[in-house]
Structure 1
Amino acid sequence: MGEPARKAVPLPPLPDGRGRSLRPDAVRAVRDRVMGTEVLAAGLTPADAAAVLGWLREVERVFTRFAPDSDTRRVSAAHGRPVRVAPMFTEVLAAACDLQRRTGGIFDPFLGADMVELGYDRDFPEISVGTVPETADGPPGPAAPAAPRVEIDHDRRLVALSPGLAVDLGGFVKGWSVQQAADGLRRRGVRRGLIDAGGDLVAWRSPGDPPWRIGVAHPLRATPADTLALAGTAAVATSSVTRRTWRDRAGRAAHHVLDPRTRRPAESDCLQATVLATDLATAEVAATCLVVLGTRTGPRLVAELDPAAAWLTIDRDGRVRRSSGLDDYRAEAPPNDDAT
């Protein structure tokens, strides 16, 4: 992959918070549906929250797999021809390719055709509860080129892929865009906020502010697996095989976390993984790798990817495991329990 020097992504169009203390009535929580999930912006002024949602909608427009005019669809359907894309597309794709290399391919941003083949070819709420239709409107079926080609020209904003490759940046671009929004607000002096996109979030606060509290749902129990009072600034990402499930074209159970080695839904012992880090896109990748590799080998890759990351996993028996670094992200000591 040949790449010229990268250009910086333009900052999200977020207003200047000016670092002022805000009256309680000037701050509220705003919810909306963006990127196929519910987004919560909390602790922000209405103007800041609206700007965050506007930014996320623009990212969705560029990266969605479900609109024929998105950069993702145009690049995937170009049969190897260079396609002019938005500046953010080259930046995000290059970052994803770097993490693909660093994870030895366990994170793969080119599983779009495999997702379509499994029937995930439209926004998830539109997928039937039963078996998906035999035809799909999307990129061609998966192909495995002997030497996949990914060419990114940042200066001319061009991307070319080998025929058969189809981009799916999914949770990675969601994490990247939420992190960009949070970083933009913090640089503008906004001292406290939380942006949560379907359970993947960035939260920050001033030292004197009360901590943000989040619950980690347990996929097999009604009670949470953990409750975290977050210390300082934290990015939290969760990957689960129990959330987005459907029946594939053969009638088999499917979910959206694919194992690049089999190009099928992951089948490790890990049902769900939550990762805490300082960057949400990296946390997204780490959580995915834990689900793909399982609770035995996954933690080693996470430690190599980000030594400061912490994690919590839940296996198929419902057992909760926590990394030793999890308490570094807590503002308060956890209650005693027997889950570890």
Structure 2
Amino acid sequence: MTTAATAFRALGTTAELLVTDPARLGAATELLHGELAAIDLACSRFRPDSEISRLHEAAGRQVRVSPLLAEALGVALRAARVSDGLVDLTVGDAVRELGYDRDFAKVAGRVDAAEAGRAPGAADLTASERAVGGSDLAAAPAAAADSASPKPAPGWHRVLFDPVRRLVVLPRGVRLDLGATAKALAADRAARRIHSVVGCGTLVNLGGDLRAAGRPPAGGWQVALADDHAGAVASPDATVALHRDFALASSGITRRRWRRGGRTVHHIVDPRTGDVPEPRWRTASVAAKSTVDANTAATAAIVLGAAAPEWLARRRLPARLVGVGGDVVTTPGWPS
């Protein structure tokens, strides 16, 4: 079976699309662009014109949200519930305090604000970057260099949400971050929609969040795993086959890192402390029936640290964990 592929930048990462019918790649790509643009406009915390930014502005008041944001909120709240709060959408302020207040390309490229003695803001962006909205832009300046000690996230249970009427009340002082679950949701939605419209086997990969739909090539989609997903194909640490209607997600601390306050921090926050978790795993890869579930479990594993293998095994989730020292631990069901 012949396959075709394309890749482009989206949602602050690389979007990759593979289909089993090259003649349908163009139509499939248009569908993927549409899904990603819709998710970005609904959920991006870096865009002042996004729906979630408007929700933050209306904190304390009841707001009716769009069907897409309602779906994204429902997914994020479910992720918090099933992960026992290890993946919590109310970590928005904690992530900002760590300096992740804009697309990661801007975070990684700037001087450590604490060591420079100032907080970078809009002046650090070019005129064109300030003028054009999108995932590559900051919505606000970085948190002050002399910010207070990390504080636990307010807690997902404080978000009042009626999914039937799509009504949300976000308490004042609570800022949401849907980054991980929204990207995973986009992979799920896009793969399902592309397969239903164009009819061929489909694999969507959004920065390590993968979802297959439809009939795959013989032997399944061959997925290369590595700390850096961008270089995984050239230098894989492991390879697994992803079959029909299955998902795989990887979370890790090796790529999205930056210097802040004299230390190295990353994008995964422990909601229980509001700080980065103690380092035990550099990468966690989990397979599940949906990308959202796989991503939730992989992120929870990074937060849990040493307790992650048992936590994953109890939930019967096949996983591969790579320790900061290079040791590899797998859970039952992960292929040898």
Q: TM-score range by the shorter chain?
A: 0.7 to 0.9
The Cα of 1:163 is off from its aligned counterpart by 1.4
Structure 2 residue aligned with 1:108: 88
**Contact 1:113/1:139, CA 8 A, preserved across alignment:** no
Q: Distance in 1 between matches of 2:251 and 2:293?
A: 12
Structure 1 residue aligned with 2:9: 33
AA paired with 1:123? D
Paired residue secondary structure (1:191) = coil
AA paired with 2:77? C
AA paired with 1:212? W
Cα deviation digits, residues 176-195 of structure 1 (max 9, x gap): 11111212233446231111
AA paired with 1:101? R
**Contact 1:275/1:311, CA 8 A, preserved across alignment:** yes
Gaps of 5+ in 1: 1-21, 328-333, 335-340
Q: Which moved more, 1:107-116 or 1:176-185?
A: 176-185
Structure 2 residue aligned with 1:214: 223
Distance 1:264 1:106, change over 3 A: same
The Cα of 1:130 is off from its aligned counterpart by 2.3
The Cα of 1:320 is off from its aligned counterpart by 1.3
Q: Distance in 2 between matches of 1:82 and 1:143?
A: 25
Cα deviation digits, residues 188-232 of structure 1 (max 9, x gap): 46231111111211124537734211111146x995321113333
Structure 2 residue aligned with 1:13: none
Q: How does 1:321-336 map to 2 (within 5 A)?
A: 321-327=329-335
Cα RMSD for the two superposed structures: 2.7
Gaps of 5+ in 2: 122-139
Distance 1:131 1:192, change over 3 A: same
Structure 2 residue aligned with 1:299: 309
Paired residue secondary structure (1:68) = coil
Q: Distance in 1 between matches of 2:256 and 2:156?
A: 32
Q: How does 1:38-77 map to 2 (within 5 A)?
A: 38-43=14-19, 44-77=24-57
Distance 1:130 1:208, change over 3 A: closer
Distance 1:194 1:117, change over 3 A: same
Q: Give the TM-score of the pair, scaled to structure 2.
A: 0.80
Q: Distance in 2 between matches of 1:226 and 1:303?
A: 20
AA paired with 2:85? G
AA paired with 2:4? R
Cα deviation digits, residues 260-313 of structure 1 (max 9, x gap): 11111122311110111110001000000111111x311333345x42x21000
Q: Which moved more, 1:61-70 or 1:84-93?
A: 84-93
AA paired with 2:327? R
Q: Distance in 2 between matches of 1:145 and 1:88?
A: 24
Q: Distance in 1 between matches of 2:159 and 2:120?
A: 28
Cα deviation digits, residues 74-127 of structure 1 (max 9, x gap): 222333122332112122212221221222211111111111111111111112
Distance 1:145 1:59, change over 3 A: closer
Q: Does 1:83 align with 2:59?
A: no
For residue 134 of structure 1, the aligned residue among 119, 128, 132 is: 119
Structure 1 residue aligned with 2:296: 285
Structure 2 residue aligned with 1:317: 325
Distance 1:65 1:104, change over 3 A: same
The Cα of 1:233 is off from its aligned counterpart by 3.4
Distance 1:78 1:277, change over 3 A: same
**Contact 1:52/1:181, CA 8 A, preserved across alignment:** yes
Paired residue secondary structure (2:240) = strand
Q: Distance in 2 between matches of 1:264 and 1:120?
A: 12
Structure 2 residue aligned with 1:256: 267
Distance 1:264 1:188, change over 3 A: same
Structure 2 residue aligned with 1:232: 244
Which structure has more helix as a fraction of its residues?
A: 2
Q: Does 1:247 align with 2:259?
A: yes
For residue 287 of structure 2, the aligned residue among 243, 256, 276 is: 276
AA paired with 2:211? V
Q: How does 1:187-202 map to 2 (within 5 A)?
A: 187-188=196-197, 190-202=199-211
Q: Distance in 1 between matches of 2:223 and 2:292?
A: 19
Paired residue secondary structure (2:210) = strand
Kindly, what percent of the aligned residue pairs are identical? 33
Cα deviation digits, residues 1-20 of structure 1 (max 9, x gap): xxxxxxxxxxxxxxxxxxxx
